[in-house]
């Protein structure tokens, strides 16, 4: 962050000092607030992300979906020093010495957030040399971290930004393993290193999996788990081991450091969020009971195509379902998927997240949310456009533990913003401009504001619209 | 379907007659012909005996017609999926239900999807309910570069899905071809040429066939490809692979080539146009998924179209057994490109044609399928609004002039769990 501009904003009284903290300061503050900061692993591979330069920008006359279910027609958004300063209707007072963008006929949303991506760890080109998403050598690998597999030159990051308006995303290990390892949350900003993409202060996630994938991968090798009961037994035993490790660590003779156990204890302590790949309703319920047995919380079930069958239970347990709009039929546990899954969950008061798990659909999460919305309305469930936008902004931010910093257009939050050339729930809409921490990182009208990864430099189609 | 069959050559399978056809007049809707022309407001579509008999704003409604008021609605030809595996796969990962390829078969070009396409597959009903009425169904390849015969099918709720059997032969000549042929493009091209030469040898003297190289059945299957009687759908993506495919015509001048995928087609669009080879292109590929896709862009179709290539949408290897319903969304995205500086999209009218008359014409069936013109098969969809828009729902589907059931197991599951908590009896009794 540019100090001069920061001071200008603070002097204008537009921002509380805490909100205007630099990226580095934010990270320190957040880490020290967390009990996990005591763990030496927490400090490893720290974020070096710094926001890029920004203009103080006002967008006027625009339709705003704020990410938390509110809509402003003929709205005004003011961002300064990389933060949202004000958002509201036409009465909103804004400074005159800013870059003014006429948003008439256009739409503003928070930056889109994907809670489930493999960009970087399963990048394109999708060659074996790049296949770094599954440490499929053991079903229990809480010790691996997705960030150590992420290739920052994956061209998919740029497509997610320019076509999808993605500003933050969680990169997960794959689902071959019961414990897949740590996930990492990134700002969708091109960088030379993964550390320079890491979302400052974001908690870690941990990937878990149930169902067909682990039993297929290991059962085919005649190893445990070859069955669903084998999967649950191995998962429970691992939690018992983690509980013992936790207990010993507090004792007089702490055990030798075990980075897998550190991750599991992080979950038991509530510092690391569980993202559990699981499809079938009956299995979701098994996982819920297992989490209660060991005293941890599942933050989100991913790919939960059968969530609609237990929407009431998921609402009561306050577990998000991170789901596709309409994928189905590709494997047995996806056979009962229905396009009204999201709407039925919303109706039951459960948390809905539309995710991609895909380098193509991450470019169209807005369209996926729109389809899920339309299918809900068609069966008579009333959902507003603004609520559907929440499925791809605030709700994923919450499940990633970053909703205090981003995911909605609230004063003091990061200025992660998309200006769309049409209603983002329309198939005809595309991002026109994307800001991350107030920095304009994509502008459809300016070819120099289109990132091109090293891989694509000097190749046919370099810098093309894609 | 009976009328249709009588006027066409015998390669068209005679369909089981669906429920008795009736005379239907769909009135007052915004009618899209599907041939790239602008929609007509307040137009009427008349269906009789499985066919479209009249379309326009000055159409007299027959006295005996069942009238359907489509005021405020859109009326279009059914969506024609330009490349799919619908009906070949029930559950992708359940091998016994997946007939898309035959990786352990000794046969290749002779394999024929008409014996596998299942009209009762869940995906047929699901995509029918979404407005898809016809599809190109192609095999995937197994051991060879040739996958076998594909078909044109309808998605009707009746016993016979085949509109045209043996509509084309499918071959891989990109990276997949390289793999199938033994590990290089040289191997793929020499295999292609050698197999076709061997088939020619067989046609001159069956006794001379080298059966280690080519089974008799496969040789027979390749003959109509060599003569140009049967289309050859060639999957190739890179600019260089596409040029090499076009070059096959030097040795085999009669090949009736159709390119499939063609992610880098825009870079050699003038060559494709000059060769008059049509393209069933992946609409939204824009990543270097592989080195054959380095310059992939969503502007591919628009740029090829501008260069004079005959092009339509075909979603090869893109959830092509289950999600034909993405066709409308993909076409809509091509329209969206018109507002993106430096991108090249399609006009709305062109985009709809790319999922209706476009594939029909490329497959040589434009006179029978894909548009709302007198004499065409009665595949009609009534939509609540713009069919390319995400908020739009399907109201009514006709295939061969017969109104279709839109029920499917997704809809049944939805209704069972409209309220997820069990009632007086378990959910299993909710039907």
Tens place of pLDDT for every residue, chain B, 431 residues?
444 443 443 344 434 444 566 899 999 999 999 999 999 999 999 999 999 999 999 999 999 999 999 999 999 999 999 999 999 999 999 999 999 999 999 999 999 999 999 999 999 999 999 999 999 999 999 999 999 999 999 999 999 999 999 999 999 999 999 999 999 999 999 999 999 999 999 999 999 999 999 999 999 999 999 999 999 999 999 999 999 999 999 999 999 999 999 999 999 999 999 999 999 999 999 999 999 999 999 999 999 999 999 999 999 999 999 999 999 999 999 999 999 999 999 999 999 999 999 999 999 999 999 999 999 999 999 999 999 999 999 999 999 999 999 999 999 999 999 999 999 999 999 99
Q: Mutate which of B85, B318, B331, B420 to disrupt the A interface (most A C-beta within 10 Å)?
A: B420
Strands A417-420 vs A107-110: parallel, antiparallel or unpaired: antiparallel
Shortest CA gap B61–chain A (Å) = 31
Which segments of B257-306 does DSSP mark as H helices, in order? 269-274, 300-306
What the block records as the tokens of B160 is 């016979």
Domains within chain A, CATH numbers bracketed: 112-406 (3.20.20.140)
Establish whether the linkage from the previous residue to B123 is cis, with ω within 30° of 0. no
What residues contact residue A236 under an 8 Å CB cut-off, 6+ apart?
Answer: A290, A293, A294
Query: In the 8-state DSSP scheme, what is residue B140?
Result: P
Predicted local distance difference test score (pLDDT) of residue A96: 85
For testing contact with chain B, the best of A328, A370, A427, A448 (most B CBs within 10 A): A427
Using a CB-CB cut-off of 8 Å, the residues of chain A touching B336 are: 422, 427-430
Is residue B297 less than 8 Å (CB to CB) from chain A?
Answer: yes
pLDDT on residue A15 = 34
Give the CA dihedral A69, A70, A76, A79, nearest 10 degrees.
-40
CB contact under 8 A, A460 and B264: yes
Token pair in block for residue A348? 């039951």
**What's the gap in Å between the CA of B418 and the closest CA on chain A?**
7
Cβ separation A428–B332 shorter than 8 A: yes
Cα atoms found within 13 Å of the Cα of residue A345, Cβ hemisphere only? 33
Best residue in A428, A445, A448 for a mutation probing chain B (most B CBs within 10 Å) = A428
Chain B residues near residue A364 by CB distance under 8 angstroms: 333
Q: Pick A332's closest partner by Cβ from B94, B296, B329.
A: B94
Nearest to B322 among A330, A373, A421 (CB): A330
pLDDT at position B388 is: 98
Q: Which of residues 69-108 of B touch A (CB under 8 A)?
A: 89-94
Alpha helices in B48-206 (DSSP H): 122-129, 175-181, 185-204
Structure tokens at A27: 């990270």
Whether the CB-CB separation of A23 and A3 falls below 8 Å is answered with: no
Q: What is the 3-state secondary structure (H, E, C) of chain A?
A: CCHHHHHHHHHCCCCCCCCCCCHHHHHHHHHHHCHHHHCHHHHCCCCCCCCCCCCCEEEEEEEEECCCCCEEEEEEEEEECCEEEEEECCCCCCCCCCEEEECCCCEEEECEEEEEECCCCCCCCCCHHHCCCCCCCCCECCCCEHHHCCCCCCCHHHHHHHCCCEEEEEECCCCCCCEEEEEEEEECCCCCCCCCCECCCCCCEEEEECCHHHHHHHHCCCCCCCCHHHHHHHHHHHHHHHHHHHHHHHCCCCCCCCHHHHHHHHHHCCCCEEEEECCCHHHHHHHHHHHHHHCCCEEEEECCCCHHHHHHHHHHHCCEEEECCCCCCCCHHHCCCCCCHHHHHHHCCCCEEECCCCCCHHHHHHHHHHHHHHHHHHCCCCCCHHHHHHCCCHHHHHHCCCCCCCCCCCCCCECCEEEECCCCCCCCCCEEEEEECCEEEEECCCHHHCCCCHHHCCCCCCCCCC
C-alpha A168/C-alpha A435 separation (Å) is: 11
User: A128 to chain B: nearest residue by CA?
Assistant: B290
Q: Which of residues 378-397 of B touch A (CB under 8 A)?
A: 388-393
Q: What is the pLDDT of residue A338?
A: 98
Q: How remote is the C-alpha of B1 from its chain's centroid?
A: 19
Give the count of beta carbons closer than 10 Å to the beta carbon of residue B406: 17
In chain B, which residues have their Cβ closer than 8 Å to the Cβ of A466? Answer: 286-287, 296-298
- B90–A329 C-beta distance less than 8 A: yes
Question: Would you state the pLDDT for residue A247?
Answer: 97
Q: How far apart are CA A281 and CA A303, in angstroms?
A: 11
Q: What is the pTM of this model?
A: 0.93
Instruction: List the single residue in B with minimal CA-CA distance to A329.
Output: B91
Taking contacts as CB-CB distances below 8 angstroms, the residues of chain A near B297 are: 461, 464-466
Q: Is B420 on the interface with A (CB under 8 A)?
A: yes
CA-closest candidate to residue B117, choices B152, B80, B148:
B152
User: DSSP letter at B340?
Assistant: S
Q: Terminal CA-to-CA distance of chain A, rounded, Å?
A: 30
Which residues, numbered 135 to 164 in chain B, qualify as contacts with chain A under a Cβ-Cβ cut-off of 8 Å? none
Answer whether the bond into residue A125 is a cis peptide, omega within 30°. Answer: yes
Terminal Cα-to-Cα distance of chain B (whole angstroms): 34
Nearest CA in chain B to A212: B93
Strands (E), B118-252: 132-137, 146-154, 162-172, 231-236
Per-residue pLDDT of chain A (466 residues; tens, 9 = 90+): 333 333 333 333 333 333 333 333 333 334 333 444 344 445 799 999 999 999 999 999 999 999 999 999 999 999 999 999 999 999 999 888 899 999 999 999 999 999 999 999 999 999 999 999 999 999 999 999 999 999 999 999 999 999 999 999 999 999 999 999 999 999 999 999 999 999 999 999 999 999 999 999 999 999 999 999 999 999 999 999 999 999 999 999 999 999 999 999 999 999 999 999 999 999 999 999 999 999 999 999 999 999 999 999 999 999 999 999 999 999 999 999 999 999 999 999 999 999 999 999 999 999 999 999 999 999 999 999 999 999 999 999 999 999 999 999 999 999 999 999 999 999 999 999 999 999 999 999 999 999 999 999 999 999 999 9
Which chain A positions have a beta carbon within 8 Å of B243's beta carbon? none
Residue from A323, A446, A427, A351 nearest B341 by CA: A446
Nearest to A278 by CA among A224, A334, A325: A334
Does the distance separating the beta carbons of A428 and B267 come in below 8 Å?
Answer: no
**CA-based angle A29:A31:A36, to the nearest 5?**
150
Nearest-Cα distance to chain A for B341, in Å, is 6
Half-sphere exposure of B383 (CA within 13 A, CB side): 25
B219: phi then psi, degrees, rounded to nearest 5:
-60, -45
- CB of B356 within 8 Å of a chain A CB? The answer is no
CA-to-CA separations, B97 to A211, A215, B150, in angstroms, rounded: 20, 20, 18
B253–A contact, CB cutoff 8 A: no
Structure tokens belonging to residue B253: 């001048």
Task: Mention every residue, 6+ apart, whose C-beta is less than 8 A from residue B271.
Answer: B242, B243, B246
Token pair 């393209």: residue: B279
* Mutation to test the B interface, candidates A212, A217, A338, most B Cβ within 10 Å: A338
Which residue out of B266, B288, B388, B421 would a mutagenesis test of the A interface target, given it has the greatest number of A Cβ atoms within 10 Å? B288
User: How many angstroms separate the CA atoms of B126 and A363, rounded?
Assistant: 25
DSSP B112: B
Residues of A in contact with B267 (CB under 8 A): 460-461
Q: Say if the Cβ atoms of B92 and A455 lie within 8 Å.
A: no
The CA distance from A49 to the nearest CA of chain B, in Å, is 26
Q: Which two tokens stand for residue A387?
A: 């609520």
Q: Do A331 and B418 touch (CB under 8 A)?
A: no
DSSP-derived secondary structure letter, B97: G
Token pair belonging to A241? 């081991």
Within an 8 Å CB–CB cutoff, is residue B122 touching chain A?
yes
Q: List beta partners, residue A277.
A: A209, A302
Residue B178 touches partner A, C-beta closer than 8 Å? no
Tell if the CB–CB gap between B93 and A125 is shorter than 8 Å.
no
Look up residue A349 and give its two tokens. Answer: 């008061």
Query: Rounded distance, CA A324 to CA A356, Å?
Result: 6
Are A367 and B390 within 8 A, CB to CB?
yes
CB A427 within 8 A of CB B333: yes
Judging by DSSP bridges, how do beta strands B74-77 and A352-354 pair with one another? Answer: unpaired
Are the beta carbons of B390 and A331 separated by less than 8 Å?
Answer: no
């Amino acid at each position: 962050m540019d100090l001069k501009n920061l001071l200008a904003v603070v002097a204008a009284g537009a921002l509380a000092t805490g909100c205007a903290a630099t990226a580095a300061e934010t990270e320190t503050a957040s880490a020290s607030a967390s009990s996990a900061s005591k763990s030496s692993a927490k400090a490893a591979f720290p974020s070096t992300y710094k926001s890029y330069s920004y203009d103080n920008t006002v967008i006027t006359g625009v339709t705003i979906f704020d990410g938390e279910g509110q809509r402003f027609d003929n709205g005004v958004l003011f961002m300064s020093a990389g933060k949202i300063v004000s958002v509201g209707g036409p009465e909103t007072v804004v400074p005159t010495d800013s870059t003014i963008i006429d948003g008439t006929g256009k739409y503003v949303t928070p930056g889109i957030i994907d809670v489930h991506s493999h960009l970087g760890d399963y990048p394109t080109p999708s060659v074996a040399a790049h296949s770094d998403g599954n440490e499929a050598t053991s079903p229990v690998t809480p010790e691996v971290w997705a960030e150590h597999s992420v290739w920052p030159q994956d061209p998919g990051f740029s497509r997610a930004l320019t076509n999808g308006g993605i500003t933050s995303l969680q990169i997960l290990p794959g689902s071959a393993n019961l414990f897949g390892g740590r996930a990492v949350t990134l700002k969708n900003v091109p960088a030379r290193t993964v550390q320079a993409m890491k979302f400052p202060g974001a908690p870690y996630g941990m990937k878990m999996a149930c169902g067909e994938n682990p039993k297929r991968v290991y059962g085919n090798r005649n190893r445990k788990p070859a069955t669903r009961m084998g999967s649950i037994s191995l998962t429970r035993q691992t939690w018992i081991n983690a509980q013992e490790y936790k207990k010993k660590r507090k004792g007089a003779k702490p055990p030798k450091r075990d980075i897998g156990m550190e991750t599991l204890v992080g979950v038991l302590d509530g510092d690391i969020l569980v993202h559990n790949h699981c499809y079938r309703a009956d299995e979701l319920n098994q996982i819920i009971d297992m989490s209660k047995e060991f005293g941890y919380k599942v933050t989100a079930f991913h790919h939960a195509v059968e969530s609609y069958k237990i929407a009431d239970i998921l609402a009561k347990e306050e577990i998000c379902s991170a789901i596709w709009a309409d994928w189905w039929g590709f494997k047995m546990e996806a056979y009962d998927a229905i396009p009204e899954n999201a709407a039925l969950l919303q109706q039951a008061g459960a948390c809905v997240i539309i995710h991609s798990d895909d380098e193509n659909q991450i470019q169209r999460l807005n369209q996926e949310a729109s389809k899920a919305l339309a299918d809900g309305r068609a069966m008579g469930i009333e959902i507003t456009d603004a609520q559907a936008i929440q499925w791809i902004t605030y709700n994923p931010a919450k499940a990633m533990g970053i909703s205090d910093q981003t995911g909605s257009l609230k004063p003091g939050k990061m200025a992660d913003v998309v200006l769309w050339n049409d209603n983002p729930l329309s198939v005809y809409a595309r991002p026109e401009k994307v800001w991350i921490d107030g920095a304009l990182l994509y502008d459809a009208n300016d070819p120099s504001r289109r990132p091109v990864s090293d891989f694509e430099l000097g190749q046919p189609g370099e810098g093309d619209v894609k | 379907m009976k009328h249709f069959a009588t006027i066409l050559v015998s390669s068209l399978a005679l369909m089981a007659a669906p429920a008795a056809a009736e005379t239907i007049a769909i009135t007052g809707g915004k009618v899209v012909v599907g041939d790239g022309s602008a929609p007509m407001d307040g137009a009427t579509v008349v269906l009789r005996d499985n066919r479209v008999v009249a379309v326009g704003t000055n159409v007299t409604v027959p006295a005996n017609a069942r009238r359907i008021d489509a005021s405020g609605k859109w009326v279009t030809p059914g969506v024609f999926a330009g490349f799919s595996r619908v009906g070949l796969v029930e559950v992708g990962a359940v091998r016994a239900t997946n007939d898309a390829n035959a990786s352990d078969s000794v046969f290749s070009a002779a394999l024929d999807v008409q014996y596998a396409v299942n009209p009762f597959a869940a995906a047929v009903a699901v995509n029918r309910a979404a407005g898809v009425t016809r599809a190109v169904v192609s095999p995937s390849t197994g051991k060879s570069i040739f996958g076998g015969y594909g078909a044109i099918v309808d998605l009707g709720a009746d016993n016979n899905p085949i509109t045209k059997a043996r509509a084309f032969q499918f071959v891989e000549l990109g990276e997949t071809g390289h793999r199938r042929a033994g590990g290089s493009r040289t191997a793929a091209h020499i295999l292609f040429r050698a197999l076709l030469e061997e088939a020619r040898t067989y046609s001159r003297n069956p006794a001379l066939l080298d059966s280690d190289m080519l089974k008799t059945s496969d040789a027979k299957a390749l003959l109509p490809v060599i003569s140009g009687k049967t289309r050859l759908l060639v999957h190739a993506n890179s600019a260089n692979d596409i040029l090499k495919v076009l070059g096959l015509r030097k040795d085999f001048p009669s090949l009736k080539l159709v390119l499939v995928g063609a992610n880098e087609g825009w870079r050699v669009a003038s060559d494709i146009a000059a060769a008059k080879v049509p393209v069933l292109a992946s609409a939204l590929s824009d990543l270097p998924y592989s080195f054959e896709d380095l310059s992939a862009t969503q502007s591919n179709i628009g740029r090829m179209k501008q260069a004079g290539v005959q092009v339509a949408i075909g979603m090869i290897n893109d959830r092509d057994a289950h999600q034909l319903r993405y066709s409308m969304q993909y076409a809509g995205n091509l329209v969206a490109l018109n507002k993106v500086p430096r991108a090249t999209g399609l006009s709305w009218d062109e985009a709809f044609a790319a999922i209706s008359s476009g594939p029909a014409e490329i497959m040589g069936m434009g006179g029978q399928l894909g548009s709302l013109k007198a004499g065409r098969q009665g595949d009609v969809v009534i939509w609540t609004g713009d069919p390319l828009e995400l908020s739009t729902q399907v109201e009514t589907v006709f295939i061969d002039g017969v109104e279709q059931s839109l029920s499917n197991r997704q809809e049944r599951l939805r209704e069972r769990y409209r309220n997820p908590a069990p009632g007086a009896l378990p959910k299993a009794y909710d039907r």
